[in-house]
Every structure is written in structure tokens, then in C-alpha cells.
Amino acid sequence: MVFPDHYFFAERRLVNHTIETRKVKNFDDCELWCYLNDNCVSLNFKKDPENTDLVHLCELNNATHLKYDNKLTNNVNFYYRGSKNACDKSSLCENNATCQSGFTLKGYRCLCPPGYEGERYE
């Protein structure tokens, strides 16, 4: 997974796609948690300047601003960072399979929904 510099936005937050929330010491730790979560493709980081414990909010997202630009909202308390996400391309996975970015030589993998199997998820 790659987080290009041009996918970083200060005072922005992607809403309605948070899959996990963590408390972290810094922005790098937030990126690390995103790397470790198979479904994370972007993050929101809320830095609290009055926080003496150096604990900040990290929201891991299962979508990016490229596919959901209308969900990238203005918020002076947050920083947003998106990754290059192969799953933003339409129709990579068929029959309700879940697309996960960053796997295989193709840059993504498709996970069958429960009760289905095989290459075509039947």
C-alpha cells in the first residue's frame, strides 16, 4: 500500500467509512494501523494540541476520497490521508465479493461472500 503525498489533505475528514478507531501517539502510528488492517485504504487523524498524554484519534477507513469525494468533508481538527487503492476501479470483484487493496500482483484480491466459493463466487 502506498500513501502518495498528493492524497494528504489538512482540515479534511472522510465520513461514513470508518471501520476502526484507535488512539495513537502520532500520525505515523495511525498509518501503521492502516497498513495492518486488510480493509483499510485511508485514514483520518485528529490531533489534539491540548492533549498532554500525546494520544490522538486515528480513524481507519475502507474507502478513499477518489471514489467518495462527496464524503470528504471540511473539518479543522482532522488530517486525511488516502492510499492508492486498486479497488476504486469499478467492478473488479463480481457477485458481491469484497475487494481488498494491496494483495497479489494485481494489487487487489476478491473475497467470496459467505456461502460462495470459486473464481466466479458461485
Among candidate residues 61, 63, 81, 69, the one with its CA nearest the CA of residue 8: 81
Q: What is the pTM of this model?
A: 0.78
Task: Write down the pLDDT at residue 121.
Answer: 59
Task: Write down the pLDDT at residue 90.
Answer: 63
Task: Write down the pLDDT at residue 103.
Answer: 67
Kindly list the averaged pLDDT for each block of 10 residues, start to end, along the chain of length 122: 88 97 94 92 88 85 91 97 78 76 75 71 55
C-alpha cell at 53: 498524554
Task: Write down the pLDDT at residue 95.
Answer: 76
